[in-house]
């Protein structure tokens, strides 16, 4: 049987890793796929010194999509614009596509999958979420017998590295961010990582596969970690929690929660002990209970591992009837649900509140009264000594679970008190049990 010819578009970190894995493990990969897989063309602006591409023609990315000899286009250039043009052209030309581009899938996936169904081709995207962790395949296939109740993930290594350093070494956010940039974990403009946008792209994809709804990135709530202080990290630790930048998706009767934000998690949960640049995703199903998937969320060969696995899957399925392939988003297209994505104000959570109180009597009683009037129960209170530099008294409260709109109203009332200085710090709390 003649080999399947693939074209790799983008020869950066992941593209270079994919090229090397396909070359190095060619024999093993052929055994798994049932036929050889040949890198027949590369679309790239420049070569990668870590790849010996001397025997492979290098052209522009769109030439790869137009090459009639190419069976599978591997899109690893990233971004929304050129990548979308490349993928749509490849599909129009009847080629299968493998991509690691979470932004492209989260924002344009509905359009891409519709075109792929029309043309009878496969679009595989395992590497778009959590690097080398096969989380998409696990939810789409391994957990297909479950109704997924919720999933929660540490799916951005940069943010996790920053929070780990703040907790373990008492460093400030700005200090650790500079190191993350120097180490190559964070970009010169770290907005996508530290503000939760990167994680929201990935969470959008996971939620769609878990709950059988269309991709709806524009409805995902995102909140970054830039306001977190070392004091918050330490207070959380004293209360038995760790702060993680968590992506959380939950099915409720009212709708689907889709949110990324700093979160207090009990320190004895396995996911709370995922540190550094590692990723982890918890998935809770009605039959299986809670499962945890852990591993490298980025990097040259961990991500290449997922890309190559997708290539093998595509090769295995190329000759199958398109109607009998595993659906892109796990559910048959005509069976996707219109269950709405909830605004953050309608989501339910417990809360950590840090209030900077003036050293006056009665402030705590006023705060407790505000919470009680709104039906918000307090789980625990921690009050510290007045701080030397400003004389303010930090008051830390943990609440029971409540709809966010109520906590918003309570915070607005607290900030209006004469005895409260500045803004109330609010961090959501998830038990994940």
Q: Which residues are catalytic?
A: 202
DSSP string covering 238-250: HTTEEEEEEEEEE
Is 102 annotated as contributing to ligand binding? Answer: yes
Unique residue bearing structure tokens 């907005």: 191
- Residue 58 labelled as part of a binding site: no
DSSP letters, 250-308, are: EE-SS-EEEEEEEEEEETTSGGGG--TTEEEEEEEETTTEEEEEEEE-SSHHHHHHHHH
Q: Is 11 annotated as a binding residue?
A: yes
| DSSP states of 144-199 | TTS-EEEEEEE--HHHHHHHHHHHHH---HHHHHHHHHHTTSS-SS-HHHHTSHHH
> Euclidean distance between the first and final Cα of the chain, in Å?
50
The reply, when asked if residue 78 is annotated as ligand binding, is no
Interatomic CA distance for residues 226 and 210, integer angstroms = 29
For residue 70, give the nearest of 17, 118, 20, 4 by alpha carbon. 4
Q: Is 9 annotated as a binding residue?
A: yes
Query: What's the Cα-to-Cα distance from 61 to each of 23, 46, 96, 176, rounded to whole Å?
Result: 20, 12, 15, 37
Judge whether 7 is annotated as a binding position: no
143: annotated binding-site residue?
Answer: no
Q: Tell me if 12 is assigned to a ligand binding site.
A: yes
**Is 87 annotated as ligand-binding?**
no
Contact partners, residue 189, CB within 8 Å, separation at least 6: none
C-alpha distances in Å from residue 278, one per residue of 111, 238, 386:
31, 24, 37
Binding region: 9-16, 102, 187
Binding region for NADPH: 102
Binding region for NADP(+): 9-16
């Amino acid at each position: 049987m003649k080999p399947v010819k693939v074209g790799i578009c983008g020869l950066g970190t992941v593209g270079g890793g994919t090229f090397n894995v396909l070359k190095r493990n060619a024999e093993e990969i052929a055994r798994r796929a049932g036929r050889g897989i040949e890198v027949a063309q590369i679309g790239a602006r420049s070569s990668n010194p870590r790849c010996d591409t001397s025997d492979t023609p290098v052209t522009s990315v769109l030439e790869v999509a137009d090459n009639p000899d190419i069976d599978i286009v591997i899109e690893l250039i990233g971004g929304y614009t050129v990548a979308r043009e490349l993928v749509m052209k490849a599909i129009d030309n009847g080629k299968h596509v493998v991509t690691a581009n979470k932004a492209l899938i989260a924002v344009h996936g509905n359009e891409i999958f519709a075109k792929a169904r029309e043309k009878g081709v496969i679009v595989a995207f395992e590497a778009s979420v959590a690097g080398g962790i096969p989380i998409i395949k696990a939810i789409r296939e391994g957990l297909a017998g479950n109704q997924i109740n919720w999933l929660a993930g540490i799916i951005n290594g940069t943010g996790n590295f920053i929070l780990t350093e703040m907790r373990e070494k008492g460093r400030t956010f700005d200090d650790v961010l500079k190191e993350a940039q120097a180490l190559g974990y964070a970009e010169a403009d770290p907005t996508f990582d530290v503000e939760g946008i990167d994680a929201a792209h990935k969470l959008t994809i996971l939620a769609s596969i878990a709950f059988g709804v269309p991709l709806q990135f524009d409805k995902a709530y995102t909140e970054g970690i830039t306001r977190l202080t070392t004091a918050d990290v330490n207070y959380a630790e004293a209360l038995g929690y760790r702060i993680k930048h968590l992506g959380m998706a939950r099915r409720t009767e009212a709708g689907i929660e889709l949110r990324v934000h700093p979160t207090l998690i009990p320190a004895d949960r396995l996911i709370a002990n995922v540190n550094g640049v590692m990723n982890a995703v918890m998935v809770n199903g009605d039959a299986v209970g809670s499962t945890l998937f852990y591993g490298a969320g980025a990097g040259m060969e961990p991500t290449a591992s997922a890309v190559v696995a997708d290539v093998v899957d595509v090769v295995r399925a190329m000759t199958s009837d398109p109607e009998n392939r595993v659906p892109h988003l796990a559910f048959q297209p005509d069976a996707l649900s219109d269950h709405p994505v909830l605004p953050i104000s309608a989501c339910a959570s417990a809360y950590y509140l840090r209030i900077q109180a003036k050293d006056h009597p009665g402030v705590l009683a006023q705060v407790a009264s505000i919470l009680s009037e709104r039906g918000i129960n307090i789980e625990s209170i921690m009050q510290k000594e007045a701080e030397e530099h400003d004389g303010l008294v930090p008051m830390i409260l943990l609440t029971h679970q409540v709809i966010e709109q109520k906590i918003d109203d309570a915070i607005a009332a607290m900030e209006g008190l004469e005895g409260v200085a500045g803004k109330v710090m609010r961090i959501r709390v998830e038990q994940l049990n």
